[in-house]
Each structure stands twice: as structure tokens, then as C-alpha cells.
Amino acid sequence: MSELLMCPICREALHLDGKTWQCAHRHSYDQAKQGYVNLHVVQHKHSKSPGDTPEAVAARRRFLQSGAYQPLQQAVSQLLQSISAKAVLDIGCGEGYYTQAMAEVVPQVVAVDIAKSAVQTAAKQSQQSNEDNTAQKITWVVGTGAVLPVLDQSIDVCSSLFSPLPKMEMLRVLKKQGYLIIATPAPQHLFAMREALFDEVKAHEPDKFLAQMAPEFSLVSKQIITTDLNLDQNQLKDLIAMTPYAWKAKADKRQALEAHQSFQLSASFCLFLLQKCVD
């Protein structure tokens, strides 16, 4: 595997020597026992514990491991195979559900998230996985989209699945004519749940991301993936806890929804493939 990581301080290439990543200027970053490296330096931090809480990370891991969003996971893998991706940067990788699937179809994945607890969970799970070959393909990194921790023009595909879109940084790290995969809620995503939690519900507007990414990125394809879910009470609680609705909704409405023994709703995703059209 080629070494793709960049020192967040001096922006030189990082090389792994034993259990330590080091650059030419001798900035060094130890690899944690779980197998990840923390490249989110204090200069780039805006809070002590940025990103998702450990509770949200745990809820998301339980929910996704149930297979509820497997159709999206499979669609992302198929998209990566269709463009013969070699090196992928998964921005906002979370606890690694989609990242693990990516590593089954591409040779090399750098997975980055600002939440240390999420990357710890992902890396630990990857270590424990029986798929040793898959685990070795992934480099887990705590980092920020403000300074993506990879070298200039080193990446074939950036993926951002329900995550931020640091446009200028993605342009920097992507190779010429590199690709961007975006997953975002389709208009009716989790509509029944949102109706139960809020007085007023508006349809999501996924296409607004296209205007945001133009003119440097052009649209290659768009697909809508919809799956009907019949959740038990624990799955419902986890789904609420892993979304921003957990803290946006009024407590009484959340409690009323969580009291349901089962709940039917549809998850609907927009999956975009864009291509970099500038040098």
C-alpha cells in the first residue's frame, strides 16, 4: 500500500515506522493500540470533544449492524466498482459501517472522522474482524475536513456519506478527474419519524448539494435508494439517537415516539456521483 497521509502541521508526507507516523520535519504521531492515528492537532480544534458523542456512535453502530441501511451500503460498493477506484478517502467515516464495505472492493481506504470515539470504535472493530485482508486495507484517522490528512492529488475518490463537504480540501486531495460520492437524505427520508417528532416537516432538498459543488464538480449519476423498515422499539430508539433529531426534537415528542413497540417507516437516500472537472 502506498502511504497517503499528510502531516497536519507542515503538510509533508507521513511514513509509518513501527507504530509511529513521522514526517521529514520529525513531527510524529503514535498509532493507538486500536490501530488508528490521531492527526487532529490542537491548532485545528474548536472544541475539546468534537463530532458525535460516544452514545450516538454506539447507537449508530447497533442500528447499522442490524442491516437496515444495507441497500445503501451495497449501492456505494457497486458505484466504487463501476469506476475502478484504487484509493478512497472516506470523509466522516463514523464507526466504519460503510468503510468496511468499501475495503472489500478497493485496494486502499483512508477513513477519517473528527469524533475520536467513532474512529476508536471503527478501528477496534476492524482489528477484531475475521477479514484480515480487508482490515489491512484501511488506515483509520482522527482528523478534520478543514485539513484533510492526505497528500495533494493522491486520492481517486472522496466519499461523504451524510457528512460535511469540504469542497476546497477535496479538490486538493483528488487526482485529476477524480470522483466524489455523496449520500444524503432523499426528500421523503424518515418522513414518518420526523412527523412524529416535529410540528412542521419539510421535504429534504438533496439537489442543493449540486449547486454547492459546481462548477468544479460535474454530475455523473444520481440514484434514489429506498427501503421500507419495520423497527422494534430498540431499533427505533437507536435510529433517533444517531440522528440530529435526538437533540432537535422536544423531549415529550421523543418520549412518545420511543414508547412505540414497533414502528414502520421508509428510509430514502440520494446517492450522487460527481467528477472533478478542474486541474
Any bridge partners for residue 20, and if so which?
17, 30
d(CA 267, CA 186): 8
27 is in an annotated binding site: yes
Residues counted in the chain = 279
The grid cell for 152 is: 495533494
CB-hemisphere CA count at 13 Å for 24?
A: 5
Q: What is the pTM of this model?
A: 0.94
pLDDT for 278 = 77
Any bridge partners for residue 182, and if so which?
160, 272
pLDDT in tens, 11-53: 999 999 999 999 999 999 999 999 999 999 865 445 555 568 8
Any bridge partners for residue 241, and if so which?
none
204 is in an annotated binding site: no
pLDDT for 44 = 47
15 is in an annotated binding site: no
Q: From the CB of residue 96, how many other CB atoms can be counted at a distance below 10 Å?
A: 27
44 is in an annotated binding site: no
Q: Which residues of the chain fall below pLDDT 50?
A: 44-45
Residue 33 DSSP SS3: coil
46 is in an annotated binding site: no
The grid cell for 189 is: 427520508
pLDDT for 29 = 96
pLDDT in tens, 202-235: 999 999 989 899 999 999 999 999 999 999 999 9
95 is in an annotated binding site: yes
93 is in an annotated binding site: no
10 is in an annotated binding site: yes
Domains and CATH numbers, the chain: 36-276 (3.40.50.150)
d(CA 89, CA 170): 9
pLDDT for 96 = 96
